[in-house]
Amino acid sequence: MANIEDTKIVNKNLTRRTLLKSIAVALPASAVILQQDTMADDLPKLDPSDPTAMALVYVEDPADLDKSNPAAARYQAGQTCANCIQIQGDSGDYRPYGIFPGKTVAAAGWCSVWAPMT
């Protein structure tokens, strides 16, 4: 059994990148755990002014991105929620999205957590 005094913390600093990576893992995991049998039509649309949506630079139309925001500067033409690994469901203008449990996002939208489908 390890002695508490022998345990070392390698990195005491919490960076924004580490926080976003943690969110990217924790939210989808919690969505799976808390998932209910609901249809996407029953879920509310994510409001772009929602605090989490704003933190992740979510927009319903990538043309509305504020390119001065460093996170938005990562956007490349063709990236949409519809072709992100986090999207759920196969069709529809608004679909559930792993990062925003209990809400639907515009399939044509974008956020800074976008990752390609594999």
pLDDT at 54: 93
Q: What is the pLDDT along the chain (118 residues), one digit of tens a residue?
A: 555 555 555 556 677 777 777 777 777 666 655 554 445 568 999 999 999 999 999 999 999 999 889 999 999 999 999 999 999 988 889 999 988 989 999 999 999 999 998 7
* Burial class of residue 1 in the structure, from the number of CB atoms within 10 Å of its CB (0-12 exposed, 13-18 middle, 19+ buried): exposed
pTM above 0.75, yes or no: no
The CATH superfamily of 14-106 is High potential iron-sulphur protein (4.10.490.10)
